[in-house]
Amino acid sequence: MDALLIPFLDATIRTATPLAYAALGEVVTERSGVINIGLEGIIIAGCLGGLIAAGAGGPTVGFLGGALAGLLMAALFALFVLRLKADAIITGTALTLLGLGLTGTVYRGVFGLEGAALGTPSIAPIALPGLSSLPLVGPVFFTQTVMTYLLYLLVPLLAWWLARTHTGLALRAIGESRTAAHAAGIAVDRIRWGAILFGGVMGGLCGATLVLGQVGTFTEGMSAGRGFIAIAIVVLGRWRVVGTALAALLFGGAFALQYLLQAVGWALPYQLFLALPYLLTLVMLAALRGRAEAPAELASHEG
Amino acid sequence: MSSRLTSWYVFGFINIAILSLVACSGEKRPNADASAFRVALLTPGPISDQAWNATAYQGLERMRDSLGASISHIQTKTPAEFEENFRQYGAKGFDLVIGHGFEFQDAARRVGPQFPQTLFATTGGEGAGPNVVALSFAFDEPSYLAGMAAAAMTRTGVIGVIGGTELPPVKLGFEAFLAGARLVRPDIRLLTAYIGNWDDASAGKEQTLAQLSQKADVIYQNADAAGLGVFQAVRQAKGAWVIGSNADQNGLAPEVTLGSVLVDVPHAFLLLARQRQANTVQGPTLRFATASEVVRWVPNPTAPPLPEQVRAKMDSVRAEFAAGARPVLTPR
């Protein structure tokens, strides 16, 4: 049983980690009442930023580079949506197209047609002393990369920040009604800038984790829809931090199950396995329906 | 200005910026000479994949360097884009337009008759007329040899194949791989997986890790850019081997690569272009098999040698393929 269960759970955590970064960033952005569907473009920028920076200064610099690339993409989004009052959906769509196209061009410009080698500086899983020798949970939860461990700290911190701090409250107030928040003296635009940029940094880290924590190289379009999956995860997580982290885990599990089911050789059309994560989303959304918990401002996407 | 109007300006501006920068590398020598031989290439994926698309771009460059052709390349994703770009190049009067993959077949058949002066070619599939031709590669023959090599190297008796999507040529290669492996080791077990796209290197790696966890120790990949994830997973694992495809991928991770199932696309493109220039295209389907050397099994020179008897058997099978004396798969 361990021959199936441990690879499955291990792959679950590994697959969920980048998704969780992107989705948690998007939670904060959306709680401020702005939806950034340009997350896909941010993630792929983070992938390439991470690759280039890691080549120059090692993995740590790589993660900073990925975060910076995401930040710049998000700043572009914020500039158009907050300053120029452009439509968030259209700007987000353009940001995705821009990210996917621009990274391809820059990648070929920097690395030529030979591409980046497989030996990009990357980080290996670290077995946490003590914890990693626990049965089952040890090899699964405590033999991961440092990016997963950071997430264990980040989730409670972010949940506390959103629920208990003054800024967190202000952010949520803007998401419910920006006019009321404005009347209460909250600096609406400044907080929204912060929320969007935070989403960008987290999306960039998602991309950098894919490159530096998993694949060890870059391929054009390697974000492969993770931005849109992260947005679905936020909905599934009901715009809550812990809920979103759990939803990311669920998606990671669905992907990992899909990998494993193909590998054990079930004689079913592979398209069924590939559809599994998406079928699961539909089922979960139907099961969790009930009171609308979306930030009210999301409905009016006039920025 | 209303916010919606601004949005459309933004959208339009960014899109124009992208279009001018990105998807296509554009015509390299636009209208340099109206009489020049003009060739266009449509690839289904990025030419930086070090696999299927990279070799096509090399082919395009070879046509420029050897024949002085004026070249143009564009990356396309959807069947609607295939058709639109075929039409654009046809309207511009290109001499040869190549859709690099089986999936371009339908678009070529629809657009071809409208531009009789342009030769539309697809790599894979079947040709369908005087100016709609196909380059058909006997990908199954070297795949069969790769299967024999895999069976000789596996210790667990479990081998794997990982593809992008289940295109007929990809599937055929995998079936031949299994048949070849069974010839050497009848009790071999094959794990088959598809990633669902050709870009997601992370999914390629995870799919490989899943197969490795199920004891596979030789993995044959045909997933273009996503296949780089397969190489990475095998590279980081202990005691497993990977087999490349389409391009010579032996240099990507030489320490764990058994060999590559090579399709010498540049060579085939050059042959086709010469035939087009001389108006002697041997259509509608140009077949390249082992005899032409365009498809071949390229063992990695730094991999440990296969057992002598397997090597001898591979040589005799290859000779039979070259003589056209051996069908790869028994007809069903």
pLDDT mean across residues, chain B = 89
* A60 occurs within a structural domain: yes
**DSSP summary character for residue B95:** S
Q: Which residues of A touch B210 (CB under 8 A)?
A: 7, 11, 256, 259-260, 262-263
* A177 occurs within a structural domain: yes
What residues have CB less than 8 Å from A72, skipping those under 6 apart?
A45, A200
A102 in contact with B, Cβ within 8 Å: yes
**DSSP summary character for residue B314:** H
* A245 occurs within a structural domain: no
- Give phi and psi for A26, each to the nearest 5: -70, -30
* A88 occurs within a structural domain: yes
* A102 occurs within a structural domain: yes
Q: How many domains does chain A have?
A: 1
Give the pLDDT confidence score for residue B218 in this predicted structure: 98
Asked if A30 contacts A239 with a C-beta cutoff of 8 angstroms, the reply is yes
Considering the entire predicted model, what is its pTM?
Answer: 0.90
Asked if B211 contacts B161 with a C-beta cutoff of 8 angstroms, the reply is no
- Residues 16-45 of chain A whose Cβ lies under 8 A from any Cβ of chain B: 18
* Model pLDDT for residues B132-167, shown as the tens digit of each residue: 999 999 999 999 999 999 999 999 999 999 999 999
Asked if A74 contacts A200 with a C-beta cutoff of 8 angstroms, the reply is yes
* Lowest mean pLDDT segment, chosen from A120-129, A140-149, A155-164: A120-129
The parent domain of residue A48 ranges over 16-118+129-230
- Nearest Cα of chain A lies from the Cα of B54 at a distance, in angstroms, of 7
- Nearest Cα of chain B lies from the Cα of A297 at a distance, in angstroms, of 17
Q: CA-based diameter of chain B, in Å?
A: 79
Which of B272, B300, B260, B283 shows the shortest CA–CA distance to B54?
A: B260
Closest Cβ opposite residue B18 in set A15, A97, A224 = A97
* A2 occurs within a structural domain: no
Look at residue A20 and give its three-state secondary structure.
helix
* A134 occurs within a structural domain: yes
- Nearest Cα of chain A lies from the Cα of B23 at a distance, in angstroms, of 7
* A260 occurs within a structural domain: no
* Lowest mean pLDDT segment, chosen from A32-36, A126-130, A280-284, B20-24: B20-24
Kindly identify which residue of chain B lies nearest to residue A225, measuring between CA atoms. Answer: B200
Give the pLDDT confidence score for residue A285 in this predicted structure: 78
Indicate yes or no: CB of A217 within 8 angstroms of CB of B228. yes
Q: Is a pLDDT exceeding 70 seen at residue A57?
A: yes
B228 in contact with A, Cβ within 8 Å: yes
Which phi-psi region, left, alpha or beta, contains residue A129 (left: φ > 0; alpha: ψ -120 to 50)?
beta
- CA atoms of A217 and A35, how far apart (whole Å): 30
Kindly identify which residue of chain B lies nearest to residue A263, measuring between CA atoms. Answer: B211
